[in-house]
């Protein structure tokens, strides 16, 4: 049963694939009602991610045509318009659906945005809130009660909203690549949301992260835990990594950039090294010399989102203060276009967070 919940709310609606004009700020979107097994939260903060932009642009291509306008899921599209995007949602439970304990009303929760569609840890049919159902760029959001998690932390709502998508993605990448204590991982795109998360998550595992980041971001990378920083675009990448690593072999490459860097990253890996990727902001279509892959006995992993077990580790890291939030900027929902424009410019470290007006 719902109490003191308005009938309409403000939200940003994605109305189709295209430019920023496809994002419509509306004040009269119906407030969702929690179905059986669901809760309704009043949203207090929602972090922004590359996936928001790529889904809006339809930039995921298809297996047959990399340039085709297509959404995030390779098989079985679940995106319909209008859609409220937003994955990294934090809020307070204000109503519950049938079968949910009313004692949960009042809880502050971080949303596990994944729609798992399976009972095991396979991600073969993974989906997410903000794509397969509405997300957190709104005043209110309904979601399954099991996806609303209380986190024992004194972090603010904005700080808590920096974690979920980026850190869950990063944790899954490192888990798939089996990054172990004492190993060295090279992180590309290290100043972004996922990249800065991986730097911290590597330290949480006892591994040694070396960051690749743009000019002017070196000090920020060292401050969050990078052992050394290679400045992107300055000199030969292979030589830069060799100098930065101090002779350490690179066990794992966690790549979020792709594009022209791809072959250099495989050259940098030690024999039997592991490459893992969850993004390609510099270009998704790359050339691969299979001889490098098989002669060096390399492993290549594609990764996206994370499992329930990955999410539980993430919550534990937050509660144990092994990772910390990096807020790159805060924007009201009514200035969403400016927020996404600034996000695409990448002139920040960490995450941009949107809050209701």
**Residue 40's beta-bridge partner residues?**
95, 142
Tokens in use for 76? Answer: 């079985």
- d(CA 125, CA 76) in angstroms, rounded, equals 9
Interval 332-354 mean pLDDT:
94
> CA 275 to CA 110: how far, in whole Å?
30
Cα distance between residue 188 and residue 60, in whole Å: 20
pLDDT at position 291, please? 94
**98-109: per-residue pLDDT in tens?**
999 999 999 999
CA 74 to chain centre: 18
Beta bridge mates, 232: none
pLDDT digits (tens, 9 = 90+) for 69-102: 998 888 889 999 999 999 999 999 999 999 999 9
pLDDT higher than 90, residue 279:
no
Please list the residues that pair with 29 across neighbouring strands: 9
Beta strands 208-213 and 108-111 are: unpaired
What is the distance in angstroms between the CA of the first residue and the CA of the last residue of the chain? 26
The position carrying tokens 């807020």 is 327
Per DSSP, the three-state class of 43 is strand
Average pLDDT over residues 122-130: 93
- Let me know: does 238 contact 215? Beta carbons within 8 Å: no
DSSP letter assigned to residue 222: H
């Amino acid at each position: 049963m719902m109490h003191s919940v308005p009938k309409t709310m403000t939200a940003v609606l994605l109305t189709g694939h295209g430019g920023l004009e496809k994002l419509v700020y509306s004040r009269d979107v119906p407030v969702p009602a929690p179905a059986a097994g669901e809760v309704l939260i009043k949203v207090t903060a929602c972090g922004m991610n590359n996936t928001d932009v790529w889904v809006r642009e339809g930039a995921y291509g298809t297996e047959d045509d990399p340039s085709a306008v297509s959404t995030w899921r390779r098989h079985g599209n679940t995106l319909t318009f209008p859609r409220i995007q937003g994955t990294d949602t934090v809020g307070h439970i204000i109503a519950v659906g049938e079968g949910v304990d009313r004692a949960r009303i009042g809880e502050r929760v971080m949303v596990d945005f994944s729609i798992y569609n399976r009972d095991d840890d396979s991600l073969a049919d993974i989906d997410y809130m903000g794509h397969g159902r509405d997300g957190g760029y709104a005043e209110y959001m309904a979601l399954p009660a099991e996806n609303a998690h209380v986190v024992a932390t004194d972090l603010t709502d904005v700080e808590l909203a920096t974690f979920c998508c980026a850190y869950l993605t990063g944790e899954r990448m490192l888990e798939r690549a089996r990054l172990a204590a004492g190993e060295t991982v090279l992180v590309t795109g290290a100043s972004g949301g996922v990249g800065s998360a991986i730097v911290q998550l590597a330290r949480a595992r006892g591994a040694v992260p070396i960051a690749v980041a743009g000019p002017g971001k070196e000090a920020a990378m060292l401050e969050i835990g990078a052992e050394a920083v290679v400045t992107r675009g300055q000199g030969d990448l292979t030589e830069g990594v060799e100098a930065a690593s101090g002779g350490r072999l690179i066990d794992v490459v966690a790549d979020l950039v792709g594009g022209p860097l791809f072959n250099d990253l495989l050259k940098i890996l030690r024999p039997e090294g592991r490459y893992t990727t969850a993004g390609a902001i510099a270009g998704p279509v790359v050339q691969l010399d299979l001889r490098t892959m098989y002669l060096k006995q390399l492993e290549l992993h594609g990764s996206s989102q994370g499992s329930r077990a990955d999410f539980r580790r993430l919550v534990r890291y937050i509660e144990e203060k092994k990772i910390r939030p990096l807020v790159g900027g805060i924007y009201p929902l009514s200035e969403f276009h400016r927020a996404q424009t600034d996000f695409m410019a990448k002139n920040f470290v960490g995450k941009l967070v949107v809050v209701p007006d």
